[in-house]
Amino acid sequence: MFLYQLLNFFFVSSKKEEESSYDLSLYKRGDLLEVPRTLFTHFGIYLGDNRVAHLIPDILPVISRDKSSIAKMVTNNRLLLGVITKAASVRVDSVADFAYGSEILINHMDKVCSQPPLDGDEVARRAEKLLGSVTYSLLWYNCEHYVMYCRYGMAISYQTYQFCTIVRKIVFSQMSAYVTALCGVCTMLYLGCVTPLTVLLTLLVSFTIWMAA
């Protein structure tokens, strides 16, 4: 009990929950909602009646069976620990809890995605069908994959693509090839293991990075 109380205290957010100031008349069933949250953009599907279905990482269900606590707004602490442990769920929250105090964009992805959106009721039906626990993956299955599948029929993530593009530019660059080769040579000299095999491996890794750049 003490451990749970200690963990529960850790999960308390400094951000106080306020009454919803969002105009619900702006949202239609099946709308794709997005808000900036922490270091990324968070996405959800509006179901109507002040309900938003969204996939969100959450550590609390892993360490507690208290449904009333789990049902409360997912704080950033719970979210970040959920990302690390890959624990998540598709859940339904109020618009205010989903937005977490941020401004909401409506159907902004319609301008980005080449695929036309599905009918609003079909979008909401898909969103509701997927409710429950899921294994979270920052690159392969996040909140954007979920909403894109529900609204457009294809599970893709533009955030993931942009992230991978940036990583590729950093890792697979000519400078990285030079640095890799230099580090390999320095390591071999420091350890005194300059052999044909280690030289070949160093050259092979550096060449692979060079060709991928």
Catalytic residues: 143
Residues 6+ apart with CB under 8 A from 70: 58, 60, 61, 64
End-to-end, the C-alpha distance of the chain in Å comes to: 54
Which two three-digit tokens encode residue 14? 């400094």
SS3 content of the chain, % helix, strand, coil (to 5): 50, 15, 30
Chain position carrying tokens 């598709």: 90
